[in-house]
Amino acid sequence: GILDCLRACKARGIVPDSLGIDSWAQDYAYIAKTGEVLGLPRCYHDPMFDVHATDLERDLMQTPMDICRRNGTSPIRFQTMRQLWYDRRYRGDVFNAAGLWLYIPYLMVYLLTGETCYDDTLMTIGGLADGQTLRVSPNTASLLGIESMLPRRRVRGEVIGRTSDAVYLETGMPPLEVICTDAHDTSSAVSAIPEDGDYLWISSGSYNMFGAVARDARLRDTMYTKRMSRTLLGDGRLCVMSGGAGMYYIQQCMKAWNGQGLELSYPMLTAYAAAHRSERVFRFDDVEETAADMPASMNAALMKNGFSPAQTPFELYEAFCNSLARLVAEGMADVEAEIGRRFDRVYNISGGSQADAYNQRLAERMRRPVLAGLQEASALGNMLAQLEGLGVSRAEATAANTGERLFEMRRFEP
């Protein structure tokens, strides 16, 4: 796909100044000592990670709290640290043949340039960093047997290398500088917010990631019980992250409704929910995530919560907006309690920020303004990191794009 993009640029006469890559977190691939990629990466949805989710604690005779104190992240069944432990124990043929391992974005960088590296945003969320220093933990690396497999650390804005002659032969594109970004896509998205202070944020997509950029967020045991993690943005700012349900549920509903021949669109649903208000609300824990009939599962959750089922897709979407706003507001309250102070504004970014009925309900539940926008936040954060590497400051970049309205935010008052 990346090569296809470069071919398309070439066909249009566009020669980019640079290229940068961000992606989802946790997954990776091994590189043999002779340079080949050892098989396909495993996906974090692999059911094996459910079966073996507690192997690490059992083998080490440690509690999940012990692990949280070690790396500053709440237990996630498919976390990189757990995947590596699984590989060492059950996939020794691949693990022992590896010379290096690379996160997905840096696997792409390697295929494009031949350079191998990592950045802090992925290591912190992957559980491989020290919970206090937020740099790769030598103790954890030794425990996992990967101390000799760690590639070189890079920082945001640093030029990693140039695309190879092989890429030129494939695409006709001359060598391009490949620049280190916030390679964890959520970190990239948060870094696009045009704000240098501390604030609450939501990166709203199929699933919601949310939290705070806060310089004073300390590592506490309650982070484990509230399922939060301390991670880094590429510019070194401290970020508290948690997560929960998102637009996935309504996306599954849309698939079901379209299959029934209903001609619906998100703007139609949003317009209805903006004009109509009900008290209907459900808990996402009561919705079956893999339900074949998602509208029926959400209606069952409504009834479990004491409400009559929605009679139309519009009513169900309105109830979904109520429920998602409650879930996120409750999660944000936990974040504020953990940090020990109240923030005066909330940014809702990424694709889900277009759901204005949800934005309004969120502002009302949180009793403060919600600033919504940056639909392509991860790409914008990626762009800003590249521009930084090319010598363009953040202020210059945002000012230069004012006419394109890329950084424009819509304000929702409680």
Yes or no: say if 230 and 134 are a contact pair by the CB < 8 Å rule: yes
pLDDT single digits (tens) 96-125? 999 999 999 999 999 999 999 999 999 999
pLDDT (0 to 100) of residue 223: 76
- 10 Å CB burial of residue 229 (0-12, 13-18, 19+) is buried
Beta bridge partners of 28: 103
pLDDT (0 to 100) of residue 167: 97
Res. 403 pLDDT band, cuts 50 70 90: low
- How far is the CA of 342 from the CAs of 120, 239, 275, 334, in angstroms? 27, 15, 30, 11
pLDDT (0 to 100) of residue 39: 84
Count the residues in the chain: 414
- Residue 152 CA to residue 118 CA, distance in Å, equals 6
Yes or no: say if 148 and 141 are a contact pair by the CB < 8 Å rule: no
pLDDT single digits (tens) 207-226? 899 999 988 888 777 777 78
